[in-house]
Amino acid sequence: MTNDPYFVPGDCQELGSYVFTEESIIAFARQFDPQRFHVDAEAAKDSVFGSLCASGWQTAATWMKLNIAAGAREAQKAKAEGRVLPEFGPSPGIRNLRWFKPVYAGDEIFYSRTVRGTRPLNSRPGWSVLELTSEARNESGELVMSFDSAALVRLPEAEQADI
Amino acid sequence: MPDDNLLHFEDMPPGTVFPLGPKHVTADEIIAFAMEYDAQPMHLDAEAGRQSILGGLAASGWHSCAMMMRMMTDSYLLRSAAEGAPGIDYVKWKKPVLAGDVLSGETRVLDSRQSQSRPGIGIVSLRHELRNQKGDTVLESENPVMIRLRNPESPSS
């Protein structure tokens, strides 16, 4: 059931990196997470983090940003080569999200995702659930975040079977 | 604000409930977030949203999480001695959050304990739920939050 060629368990894809500037940290936090250690560099010094750091939700949403960008690059390449890629649908959720270390202003964070497996979705013929584990690391290679996620995918074979 | 006025570990025993929202979700906000973080058609374009499984211009799940975070800060975190969160046990995106929805809900304290490794810090386990204006649950989540003890010497949990 999991031997489709698109999502081989254990396959790890590097998604690229993002530099968290002080400006971007404060802009995100003012809108969504205005705790003092995310919006005020002075006040952050007195917090447990010791310095201005990104909202964990910015670190997480940036995974999606890079995941989407990587998908767009892959789609362009596939189109040029005449290949059909799986179609992605919505996600039911995430689990086991851990923020291991703060992401500080100036940090460059490197993201990746690893396939855990796929299983057919009985309630939606043609669609499968793709399960991923994703990671974010800083310049020193330290893990700053990881989480497990799921997404609905429709594999090209299933599309053909519909016809 | 004097520190004494902040919510501390002792002020959040199991069973404590904090209201979340209401938050009116606009199409402009959905599109702005998606352009930056989740540029998929159903988050960017009303017609594409209608034709998708989600049934309308729908907020990125990450946007829903970020909006929940803001509701948490506005309801209780900004007037608390919270020191961040180590993670999120789970988030379930139960139903789409669509343009025009009004989200509200609550955070409930499930459990509280003192940190073994960090004196003066307690950990409260929180469960969050957001519903839309029709009463449908759109998001469920649980996570631990670190918060300072008011009286590290003689805590009363």
pLDDT digits (tens, 9 = 90+) for A24-61: 999 999 999 999 999 999 999 988 899 999 999 999 99
Flag whether A86 is in a domain. Answer: yes
DSSP conformation class of B44: H
**pLDDT value for B90:** 98
More confident residue, B156 or A15: A15
**pLDDT value for B36:** 98
8 Å CB contact between B134 and B78: no
Report yes or no: A90 at the B interface, CB cutoff 8 Å.
Answer: yes
**pLDDT value for B18:** 98
Distance (Å) of CA B79 to CA A45, B46, B74, B75:
19, 38, 8, 8
Flag whether A5 is in a domain. Answer: no
pTM over 0.90: yes
More confident residue, B4 or A130: A130
pLDDT of A142 higher than 70: yes
**Mutation target among A23, A25, A30, A32 for the B interface, most CBs of B within 10 A:** A32
Burial of A12 (C-beta count, 10 Å sphere; 0-12/13-18/19+) = exposed
Q: Do B62 and A64 touch (CB under 8 A)?
A: yes
pLDDT of A163 higher than 80: no
Give the rounded percent of residues in chain A with a pLDDT score beyond 70.
Answer: 93
**pLDDT value for B1:** 46
User: What is the arithmetic mean of pLDDT over A92-114?
Assistant: 98
Q: For residue range B5-43, list pLDDT tens digits in order.
A: 999 999 999 999 999 999 999 999 999 999 999 999 999
Report yes or no: A30 at the B interface, CB cutoff 8 Å.
Answer: no
Distance (Å) of CA A7 to CA A100, A111, A130, B30:
27, 18, 8, 30
Domains and CATH numbers, chain B: 3-148 (3.10.129.10)
Give the rounded percent of residues in chain B with a pLDDT score beyond 90.
Answer: 90
User: What is the arithmetic mean of pLDDT over A129-145?
Assistant: 97
**pLDDT value for A28:** 98
Q: What is the mean pLDDT of chain A?
A: 92
CB < 8 Å to A37, chain B? 84
Report yes or no: A75 at the B interface, CB cutoff 8 Å.
Answer: no
**pLDDT value for A23:** 97
Distance in angstroms (rounded) separating the CA atoms of residues B127 and B107:
6
Secondary structure element (H or E) that encloses residue B146, with its range:
strand B137-148
Q: Do A97 and B73 touch (CB under 8 A)?
A: no
Flag whether A1 is in a domain. Answer: no
- In angstroms, what separates the C-alpha of A131 from chain B's closest C-alpha? 14
Flag whether A4 is in a domain. Answer: no
**pLDDT value for B4:** 78
User: What is the arithmetic mean of pLDDT over A67-88?
Assistant: 93
Question: What is the pLDDT confidence band of residue A162, given thresholds at 50, 70 and 90?
Answer: very low
What domain range includes position A58? 12-162
Flag whether A129 is in a domain. Answer: yes
**pLDDT value for B6:** 96
**pLDDT value for B82:** 94
User: What is the arithmetic mean of pLDDT over B40-67?
Assistant: 96
B 35-94: CB under 8 A from A:
36-40, 42, 52-54, 60-63, 65-67, 69-70, 73, 77-78, 82-93
pLDDT of B83 higher than 50: yes
**Mutation target among B67, B68, B69 for the A interface, most CBs of A within 10 A:** B69
Question: What is the pLDDT confidence band of residue B154, given thresholds at 50, 70 and 90?
Answer: low
E-only strand ranges, chain A: 12-19, 87-88, 93-99, 108-120, 127-137, 143-154
Q: Do B88 and A49 touch (CB under 8 A)?
A: no
For residue A16, what is the domain's CATH number? 3.10.129.10
User: What is the arithmetic mean of pLDDT over B95-118?
Assistant: 96
Q: How many domains does chain A have?
A: 1
